[in-house]
């Protein structure tokens, strides 16, 4: 079981979008996946079309980490119902639902004991090939909880100066965190999101990222896509959305997923 945190210390660069795109690719490739929504805003839970009231919110599970069995608390993603009937039975896309309650762990001075709560829960999980943890945009308590449970951090960056600087900070933070608390933790790669082929600035930043991150820079990069917000607003998997432009985006996520699992 591959456990990955999707992170960036800078906000709004596309962590939730990348988590959802990879979850969509996983569903279509038959990769059994659990998504953990660690962001108190719970955007991933909404985007994955989880029915209201299903599943136990992650804040409660973290509080009860010693006893809780995640298997009986996950919610099923509504995306599974959109698959052709013959494929639904074996498909598996579950969600540990996000909630504002988890914010009680989002302290910069989180205790080591609390930091291990998700790891404790995931150590007892089986039946999934992939766990994706959508983290909030800071190195506060919840991101530390996610990293302590993960084998790798998938960083998301935009081709802009501030985002490149933010990714540098994230990489340093991963190294420090790994030295101090989580020797298993590595940088799984940098996904570049929202690139525009017609932008000279983006081209320049991409070259800079190639130089800085070398083989950690993941190919393909993800382009700015005018349909993304509409797809997410409809809580739809990108692989089910019609049209060539979206099909290319779905293919990009397929290629990224194959490198990660
Ligand atoms: N490739 C893209 N093309 C167009 N819009 C995009 C793309 N990626 C993300 N977006 C849009 O950008 C906004 C921010 O994306 P998202 O919520 O995934 O970022 P985030 O890093 O999870 O944010 P936060 O730090 O608040 O958790 C969303 O409205 C999303 O639809
Ligand atoms: Mg997000």
Rounded-to-integer distance, Cα 27 and Cα 153, Å: 21
Tell me, what's the pLDDT at 97?
Answer: 98
- CA angle at 209 for the pair 206 and 210, rounded to the nearest 5°: 85
Rounded-to-integer distance, Cα 62 and Cα 100, Å: 13
* Domains: count for the chain: 1
Rounded-to-integer distance, Cα 247 and Cα 2, Å: 26
From the CB of 228, is ligand 1 less than 6 Å away? yes
pLDDT tens digit string along 150-181?
Answer: 999 999 999 999 888 889 999 999 999 999 99
| Ligand 2 midpoint to CA 4 (Å) | 15
| Closest to 74 measured CA to CA, from 48, 101, 43 | 48
- Ligand 1 atom closest to residue 41's alpha carbon, by position in its atom list: 27
| Ligand 2 midpoint to CA 7 (Å) | 9
From the CB of 39, is ligand 1 less than 6 Å away? yes
Question: Which residue, chain included where needed, has tokens 């302290």?
Answer: 107
CATH number where 9 lies: 3.40.50.300
Q: Has residue 245 got a pLDDT over 90?
A: no
From the CB of 13, is ligand 1 less than 6 Å away? yes
Q: Has residue 189 got a pLDDT over 90?
A: yes
- Ligand 1 atom closest to residue 226's alpha carbon, by position in its atom list: 4
Q: What are 34's strand-pairing partners?
A: 94, 131
pLDDT tens digit string along 95-146?
Answer: 999 999 999 999 999 999 999 999 999 999 999 999 999 999 999 999 999 9
Contact yes or no for 37/55 (Cβ under 8 A): no
For the segment 20-39, the average pLDDT, to the nearest whole number, is 98
| Domain range enclosing 136 | 2-260
| Closest to 81 measured CA to CA, from 35, 49, 36, 57 | 49
Helix, coil or strand: residue 181:
coil
């Amino acid at each position: 079981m591959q456990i990955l945190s999707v992170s960036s210390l800078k906000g709004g660069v596309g962590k939730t979008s990348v988590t959802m795109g990879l979850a969509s690719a996983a569903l279509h490739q038959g990769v059994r996946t659990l998504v953990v929504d660690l962001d108190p805003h719970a955007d991933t839970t909404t985007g994955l079309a989880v029915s209201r009231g299903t599943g136990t919110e992650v804040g409660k599970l973290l509080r009860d980490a010693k006893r809780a069995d995640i298997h009986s608390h996950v919610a099923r993603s509504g995306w599974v119902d959109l698959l052709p009937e013959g494929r639904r039975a074996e498909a598996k896309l579950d969600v540990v639902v996000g909630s504002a309650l988890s914010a009680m762990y989002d302290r910069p001075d989180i205790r080591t004991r609390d930091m291990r709560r998700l790891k404790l829960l995931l150590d007892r999980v089986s039946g999934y090939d992939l766990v994706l943890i959508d983290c909030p945009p800071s190195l506060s308590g919840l991101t530390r909880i996610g990293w302590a449970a993960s084998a790798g951090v998938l960083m998301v960056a935009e081709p802009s100066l501030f985002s490149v600087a933010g990714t540098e900070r994230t990489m340093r933070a991963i190294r420090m965190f790994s030295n101090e608390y989580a020797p298993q933790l590595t940088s799984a790669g940098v996904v570049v999101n929202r690139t525009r082929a017609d932008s000279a600035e983006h081209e320049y930043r991409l070259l800079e990222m190639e130089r800085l991150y070398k083989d950690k820079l993941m190919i393909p990069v993800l382009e700015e896509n005018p349909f993304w917000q509409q797809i997410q607003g409809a809580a739809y998997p990108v692989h089910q959305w019609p049209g060539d432009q979206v099909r290319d985006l779905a293919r990009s996520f397929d290629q990224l997923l194959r490198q990660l699992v």
